[in-house]
């Protein structure tokens, strides 16, 4: 008997479900894996030997491919992961072999503001604690590979400062790279939200010594924003990963030429850290369906997708494979559509747009809810006018998915506090706009509460109305592709490029591989615009691009807009204040 989610926190529900969960060997066998294709990590988690699976099942047709996205969220999140897991549970109750792919949670948000990213209520993945805290070590491996590259770079700068060319050649066979310390674009990474590390000085010499590194300004980003994580997300196999790892650009030399990880002869060692991380992780829903957890780039500051490898494996083993994109359709789904699907060669059959009464009220004019604080009264009382006003945001996201040529289903993620009148208003507005809509109660009822959603998704998948097409031609100049995204997806009037951004885009456009570089926007997730305070569908605004980053290994150009930072901060009421350990049982408590 499962616990009531209206009366019990997620971690208690997870611990109760964990007493009945399948061993990973049983889960893998039910999924269709052979024993040699599973690498168990304890009793309930494992890694998949993806190459063996894909070679064995090369001739098997793929299952249906579904992406889960959302409307513009509040800081509390609107339940995309919960919906992904609930949908998979609902599909299983309809007799379909189903699987999910979600991203590995970062330690920063887990300890900072969101708690676990395992779903919630009766639609969670388990085991909760190891999934949320370190898991199989993939994020640590990404951080180690990234920081090894920075170690190689800064050590090289020190040695080139201390020795002349002849001594460098005699000691190690090195050639001088002449790294410009003012043009080192890459920083260090750690997997917490540590605003104190956004700007640092490294290599401070003590007592006149010259062996403490090279003194210069630097910075830390959160690990999931690392280019290494994006490379891991888009790589098709270990060979592709190794090749991409050598194309990372860490800095420019004094002549303005790129200094890569291949130049530093560190790409092979970086890949060595990732030999196990390239393999997808396997856990389960609380109802026993397989969940592939692999990679964790954020949707606002990176690619925002689980890995290409996980989706390829899931599609071979499932009738329906459900993947999730970070944040809302203008961020995560746009990158799924125009980046991930290009890298993978896969075509989606349907997309789910998650909407909540809470988020719609926010877009309708209610005060912004804050994590760790009581909800404003507007969210706890019935107010159909706020919901109706906020539906402009939902309609905009429906339009984004339609633009991609993929049939969509609006999932009204029903909270037990929502009123029937508010739910009816959302359904009416969606149906008037010609959208499929399903009310889902998967948080409260698990797979049984997601049957309407599962049926609507299969109706979309089998509609025959798929006409998947890219938003833009990759042969267009980078500035035109950025402008296309801003106008057609965000609803901006145009784009303003600061001098630094314009200069960097000009240099990138002159590269011979410019047409092979994808555009991966860096923007706030809390608004369609670059101003997080503007809700609904902002009008009369222009996207402000202040910088441009190059992820050469991932093949991405990342225009940075607004005040978004690659190192989030920890707020005044962080989640870690609620987390503890029962010293008698060793069980972690307080993970949401």
- Residue 189 pairs with which residues in a beta bridge? 221
Both tokens assigned to 327:
């944040």
According to the annotation, is 420 in a ligand binding site? no
According to the annotation, is 74 in a ligand binding site? yes
Distance CA 139, CA 190 (A): 9
**CA nearest neighbour of 358 among 406, 311, 274, 414:** 414
According to the annotation, is 80 in a ligand binding site? yes
Q: What is the DSSP string of 304-372?
A: -B--HHHHHHHHHH-SEEEEEBSSSIIIIIHHIIIIIHHHH----SEEEEEE-HHHHHHHHTPPPP-TT
Cα–Cα distance list, 166 to 88, 211, 265, 277 (Å):
63, 19, 19, 40
**CA nearest neighbour of 443 among 150, 209, 122, 177:** 122
Distance CA 93, CA 111 (A): 34
According to the annotation, is 49 in a ligand binding site? no
According to the annotation, is 81 in a ligand binding site? yes
Both tokens assigned to 39:
């690498």
Task: Please give the radius of gyration of the chain, using alpha carbons only, rounded to the nearest integer.
Answer: 24
Cα–Cα distance list, 551 to 139, 153, 515 (Å):
18, 17, 14
According to the annotation, is 75 in a ligand binding site? yes
> Are the C-beta atoms of residues 354 and 83 closer than 8 Å to each other?
yes
Both tokens assigned to 472:
């833009």
Give the CA angle between residues 147, 478, 300 to the nearest 5°.
Answer: 50
> Are the C-beta atoms of residues 574 and 112 closer than 8 Å to each other?
yes
For residue 35, the 8-state DSSP code is G
Asked if residue 127 has a cis previous peptide bond (ω within 30° of 0), the answer is: yes
**3-state SS record for 229-247:** HHHHHHCCCHHHHHHHHCC
What is the dihedral angle through the alpha carbons of 398, 401, 405, 411, rounded to the nearest 10 degrees? -70
Distance CA 209, CA 211 (A): 6
Distance CA 537, CA 492 (A): 10
Residue 319's Cβ-count burial label (10 Å; 0-12, 13-18, 19+) is middle
Instruction: Please enumerate, by residue number, every residue annotated as part of a binding site for ATP.
Output: 74-81
Instruction: Please enumerate, by residue number, every residue annotated as part of a binding site.
Output: 74-81
């Amino acid at each position: 008997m499962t616990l009531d989610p209206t009366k019990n926190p997620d971690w208690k529900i997870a611990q109760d479900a964990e007493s009945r969960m399948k061993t990973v060997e049983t889960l893998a066998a039910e999924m269709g894996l052979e024993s040699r294709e599973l690498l168990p990590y304890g009793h309930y988690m494992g890694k998949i030997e993806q190459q063996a699976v894909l070679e064995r099942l090369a001739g098997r047709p793929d299952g249906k491919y579904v992406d889960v996205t959302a409307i513009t969220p509040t800081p509390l999140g609107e339940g995309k992961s919960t919906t992904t897991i609930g949908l998979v549970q609902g599909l299983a109750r309809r007799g379909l072999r189903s699987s999910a792919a979600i991203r590995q949670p970062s330690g920063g948000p887990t300890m900072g503001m969101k708690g676990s990213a395992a779903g919630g209520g009766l639609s969670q993945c388990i085991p909760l604690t190891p999934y949320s805290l370190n898991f199989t070590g993939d994020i640590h491996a990404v951080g180690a590979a990234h920081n090894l590259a920075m170690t190689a770079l800064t050590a090289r700068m020190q040695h080139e400062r201390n020795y002349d060319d002849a001594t460098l050649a005699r000691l190690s066979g090195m050639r001088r790279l002449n790294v410009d310390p003012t043009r080192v674009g890459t920083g260090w990474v750690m997997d917490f939200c540590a605003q104190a590390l956004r700007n640092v000085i490294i290599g401070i010499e003590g007592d006149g010594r010259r062996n403490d590194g090279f003194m210069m300004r630097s910075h830390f980003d959160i690990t999931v924003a690392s280019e290494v994580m994006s490379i891991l997300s888009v790589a098709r196999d270990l060979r592709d990963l190794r090749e991409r790892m050598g194309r990372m650009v860490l800095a420019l030399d004094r002549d303005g030429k790129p200094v890569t990880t291949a130049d530093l002869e560190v790409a092979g060692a970086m890949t060595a850290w990732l030999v196990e991380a390239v393999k997808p992780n396997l856990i389960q829903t609380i109802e026993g369906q397989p969940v592939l957890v692999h990679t964790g780039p954020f949707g606002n500051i990176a690619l925002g997708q689980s890995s290409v490898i996980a989706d390829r494996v899931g599609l071979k083993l499932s009738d329906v494979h459900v993947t999730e994109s970070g944040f809302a359709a203008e961020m995560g789904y746009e990158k799924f559509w125009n980046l991930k699907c290009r890298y993978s060669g896969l075509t989606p059959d349907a997309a789910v747009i998650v909407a909540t009464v809470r988020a719609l009220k926010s877009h309708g004019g209610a005060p912004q809810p804050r994590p760790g604080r009581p909800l404003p009264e507007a969210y706890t009382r019935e107010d159909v006018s706020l919901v109706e006003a906020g539906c402009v945001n939902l309609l905009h996201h429906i339009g984004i998915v339609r633009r991609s040529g993929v049939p969509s289903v609006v999932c009204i993620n029903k909270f037990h506090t929502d009123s029937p009148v508010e739910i009816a208003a959302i359904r009416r507005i969606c149906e008037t706009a010609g959208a499929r809509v399903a009310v889902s109660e998967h948080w409260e009822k698990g797979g049984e509460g997601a049957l309407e959603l599962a049926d609507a998704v299969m109706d979309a998948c089998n509609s025959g109305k798929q006409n998947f097409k890219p938003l833009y031609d990759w042969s267009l100049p980078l500035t035109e592709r950025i402008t296309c995204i801003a106008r057609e997806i965000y609803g901006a009037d145009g784009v303003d490029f600061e001098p630094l951004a314009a200069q960097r885009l000009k240099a990138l456009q002159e590269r011979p591989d410019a047409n092979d570089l994808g555009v991966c926007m860096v923007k706030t997730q809390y608004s369609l615009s670059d101003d997080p305070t503007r809700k609904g569908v902002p009008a009369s605004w222009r996207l402000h691009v202040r910088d441009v980053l190059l992820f050469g290994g991932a093949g991405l150009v990342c225009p940075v807009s607004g005040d978004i930072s690659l190192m989030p901060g920890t707020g005044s009421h962080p989640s870690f204040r609620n987390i503890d350990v029962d010293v008698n049982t060793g069980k972690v408590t307080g993970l949401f």
